[in-house]
Amino acid sequence: MENMEELKVENIVKIKQFLTDENLEGFREYFLDLHPYDQAKFFMEVEATHRMRIYSYLSPEEVAGIMEHIELEDAQIFFSEMDPRFASMIFAEMATDDAVDILNEMEKDKVVSFLTIMDVEEADEIKDLLHYEEKTAGSIMTTEYISVYKTQTVKDTMAQLKKDGPDAETIYYLYVIDDDKKLVGVLSLRDLIISDDETNIESIMNENVFNVSVAENQEDVAKMMRDYDFLAVPVVDFQRHLIGIITVDDILDVIDEEASEDYSKLAGISDVDRPDTNPFIAAKKRLPWLIILLFLGMLTASLIGQFEETLSKVTILSIFIPLIGGMAGNTGTQALAVAVRGLATGEYEEDGKLKLILREAGTGLITGTVCGIIIAIVIFLWQHNLYLGLLVGLSIMTTLVIATLAGSLIPLVMYRMKIDPAVASGPFITTINDIISVLIYFGLATTFMNLLL
What is the distance between the alpha carbons of residues 131 and 111, in angstroms, rounded to a whole number? 12
Strand order in the sheet with 242-247: 212-213, 232-236, 242-247
Query: Which residue, among 448, 449, 441, has the nearest Cα to 304 in the 3D structure?
Result: 441
What is the distance between the alpha carbons of residues 165 and 159, in angstroms, rounded to a whole number? 10
pLDDT tens, N- to C-terminus, the chain (453 residues): 445 566 577 788 889 899 989 999 999 998 998 888 889 989 988 888 889 999 999 999 999 999 988 887 788 889 988 998 999 999 988 888 888 888 888 888 888 888 888 888 888 888 888 888 888 998 889 888 899 999 999 999 999 999 988 888 888 889 999 999 999 999 989 999 999 999 999 999 999 999 999 999 888 898 888 888 888 999 999 889 999 999 888 888 887 776 666 555 555 555 544 545 557 666 666 667 667 767 777 777 777 777 777 777 777 888 888 888 888 878 887 887 777 777 766 666 666 777 888 888 899 899 989 999 999 999 889 888 888 889 889 999 998 998 888 888 888 887 777 766 665 555 667 777 888 888 888 888 888 877 776
The architecture CATH gives domain 279-452: Orthogonal Bundle (1.10)
Domain extent listing, the chain = 2-131, 147-247, 279-452
How much is the pTM? 0.58
Domains 2-131 and 279-452 share a fold: no
What is the distance between the alpha carbons of residues 90 and 113, in angstroms, rounded to a whole number? 14
Query: What's the CA angle centered on 89, arms 84 and 95, to 5 degrees?
Result: 125
Residue 217 carries which DSSP code? Answer: B
DSSP for 390-422, written as a single string: HHHHHHHHHHHHHHHHHHHHHHHHHHHTTS-GG
Answer CATH for 147-247 from 3.40.50.740, 3.30.70.100, 3.10.580.10, 3.20.20.70: 3.10.580.10
The architecture CATH gives domain 2-131: Alpha Horseshoe (1.25)
| Number of Cβ within a 10 Å radius of residue 439 | 16
Please, what is the end-to-end C-alpha distance for the chain in angstroms? 70
